[in-house]
Amino acid sequence: MNLFGLMETSGSAMQAERMRAEVVAANMANAETTHTATGATYRRQHVVFAANRGDAGFLDSMATASGTSASSAAGSLPALPALNTLGSGAVAPGVHIAQVIEDSSAPLRRYDPGHPDAGPDGYVSYPDINPLTEMVDLMGATRAYGLNSSAVQAEKGMITSALDIAKS
């Protein structure tokens, strides 16, 4: 690992945590979405992290895997971020989003016969999204982002101190 390895690792983690926060925001925004463009009920999205191993073979395998990752049924989620690569074509150590997957839990059914999406029985299907769970996920993403930012600041301070010592 080079002198800036920690910055590369923390930078990739910050990028992954930002994406995690965006997925949580999309879940919250679609908590009452009864149908998407495809006509299905919106499904809660989950982010799957994976570690970058730091070798070119891993880059090739992840490029293939990222092409098969799930996307939002509503189309409201941003595209997956590109892998953090080094100039030599190798993957920088750290973390990335492997995929965004849909929750497999059944939709919640509420009786509302006046709703335009109500079935013949009068029930409407809503996504199984708990705002408390989403807020806990958002707090975790925010704290992880902040800790990685602190690590970058600490490394910058150490590099500056090392340069000051070298000048003396």
Give the pLDDT confidence of 80-131 residue by residue, as tens digits.
Answer: 444 445 555 555 678 889 999 999 999 999 999 999 999 999 999 999 999 9
**Could you tell me the pLDDT band of residue 39, with boundaries at 50, 70 and 90?**
confident
Domains: count for the chain: 1
CA distance 20 to 28: 13
How much is the average pLDDT of 19-38? 93
Domain interval for residue 22: 5-167
| pLDDT for the residue 74 | 37
Q: Is 49 helix (H, G, I), strand (E, B) or coil?
A: strand
pTM for this model (two decimals) = 0.72
